Amino acid sequence: MSTDLRSLLATAFAQRSALLAQLHAEDTNAYRLFHGSVEGVSGLTVDRYGDLLLVQTFHTPLSDTELASISTYYAEVLPGLATVYNDRSEANSRIRNPLSGPELEAAMLPREARELGVSYRIQGRHSGQDPWLFLDLRAGRRRVMQEAAGKEVLNLFAYTSGVGIAAAKAGARFVMNVDFAESSIIVGKENARLNTLATRPRFVHSDVFPAVRQLAGIGQPKMVRGKRMPPFPVLEARQFDLVFLDPPRYAKSLFGVVDLVNDYASVFKPALLATKEGGSIFCCNNVAQVEAEAWLDQLQRSAAKAGRPVREFEWITPDSDFPSPDGKHPLKMVLLHV
């Protein structure tokens, strides 16, 4: 850990001055304050979510002095934030530092953060590991809000349904959020309750594969090679104006395998077929080792093979609170018009 941590924090904060002014004007109080991998302390992140200052380490734990230095600095420049520290330097990014008393109470307190005029439920700690709102996806949610008015939107691998709630807030005619984790669906429903929405989003608790295959008209058999598949909701075939696809790096179930390095097409093709002719599909890939242009080429070839060629595309770049010196952000987002 750097011996001049305060100086690094101050430099990062100064470099964000224009962005923070823009975000505050957009009614946003959730953003990354320090992105350690490129700002001087590898593995350290500092995020603001409303009145929460979330400090996380992924390589080396903070000392008490270092944590105090971080809390003290941000108390000066952003007064009134409650600090919660999660040391996630163990395998699989599991939180390893126990909290008790007032620290635990502060970490478990349900809070509210704002982004682009939308309210989201936040907690410093909960039953999972990751924060309930991924901040690097903000530019994607902003772009969805620009597209969503009057449209039918499908949000796949929805997590806590941030994209779906943003679309509904922006005036989408119909929104369907699909995720396999019941805990994420519960948070998504709470997010919906926090906002005044013209239409109530639909939440589908399901493995994405059987859900999107049914929506795409491919269908999902209940028996595969003589084996009964796990239960899944029955859905009518339906195409959407805008489909948002943000899969995890790797996931495996009896219905299929998600592999963003070797087989993005396995989730892309049915999502594409659930997209209306003349509609758009927003694709995300969060694997740093995947090269953006090569990935886009794969998407275009897969779309052409499916008979739904890409007419035009638009790269969406994360906001500057996620700096990248070489411009190659780990999170790649592209909006395909098909």
Q: Give the angle 265-159-55 at the CA atoms, nearest 5°.
A: 115
135-337: which CATH topology? Answer: Rossmann fold (3.40.50)
Which runs of E-coded beta strand occur in 17-94? Answer: 30-35, 44-49, 52-57, 82-87
Same fold for the domain at 5-122 and the one at 135-337?
no
List, for residues 4-25, the tens digit of each pLDDT value.
999 999 999 999 999 999 999 9
The position carrying tokens 């850990």 is: 1
Quick one: tokens of 196? 């005044």
What's the pLDDT score for residue 93?
Answer: 87
The position carrying tokens 């003349």 is: 278
Burial class (CB in 10 A: 0-12, 13-18, 19+), 63: exposed
- Mean pLDDT, range 124-132, rounded to an integer: 95
Strand order in the sheet with 52-57: 30-35, 44-49, 52-57, 82-87
- Mean pLDDT, range 27-48, rounded to an integer: 97
Helix runs in 78-137, H state only: 101-108
The position carrying tokens 């989408």 is: 172
| pLDDT greater than 60 at residue 2 | no
List, for residues 84-122, the tens digit of each pLDDT value.
999 999 888 889 999 999 999 999 999 999 999 999 999
Quick one: tokens of 332? 């790649």
H or E element, residue 233: none
Quick one: tokens of 79? 């007064």
What's the pLDDT score for residue 92?
Answer: 83
Q: Give the angle 327-330-332 at the CA atoms, nearest 5°.
A: 85
**Nearest Cα to 121, choosing from 80, 171, 170, 159?**
159
With beta carbons less than 8 A apart as the criterion, state whether 172 and 148 touch: yes
| Chain-centroid distance, C-alpha 118 | 15
| pLDDT greater than 60 at residue 280 | yes
Q: How far apart are CA 277 and CA 175, in angstroms?
A: 18
| Torsion angle in degrees (nearest 10) through CA of 159, 164, 169, 175 | -140
| pLDDT greater than 70 at residue 1 | no
List, for residues 316-333, the tens digit of each pLDDT value.
999 999 999 998 999 999
List, for residues 227-245, the tens digit of each pLDDT value.
999 999 999 999 999 999 9
Under the banding of pLDDT at 50, 70 and 90, the label for residue 192 is very high
**CATH-assigned architecture of domain 5-122:** 2-Layer Sandwich (3.30)
What's the pLDDT score for residue 283?
Answer: 98
Under the banding of pLDDT at 50, 70 and 90, the label for residue 170 is very high
H or E element, residue 226: none
Q: How far apart are CA 248 and CA 252, in angstroms?
A: 10
What are the structural domain ranges in the chain? 5-122, 135-337
Q: How far apart are CA 10 and CA 143, in angstroms?
A: 30
List, for residues 252-272, the tens digit of each pLDDT value.
999 999 999 999 999 999 999
Query: Under 8 Å CB-to-CB from 270, ≥6 apart: which residues?
Result: 209, 212, 213, 215, 216, 218
Average pLDDT of the residues of the chain: 96
List, for residues 55-88, the tens digit of each pLDDT value.
999 999 999 999 999 999 999 999 999 999 999 9
The position carrying tokens 């959730």 is: 30
Q: What percent of the chain has pLDDT over 70?
A: 99
Quick one: tokens of 198? 């013209």
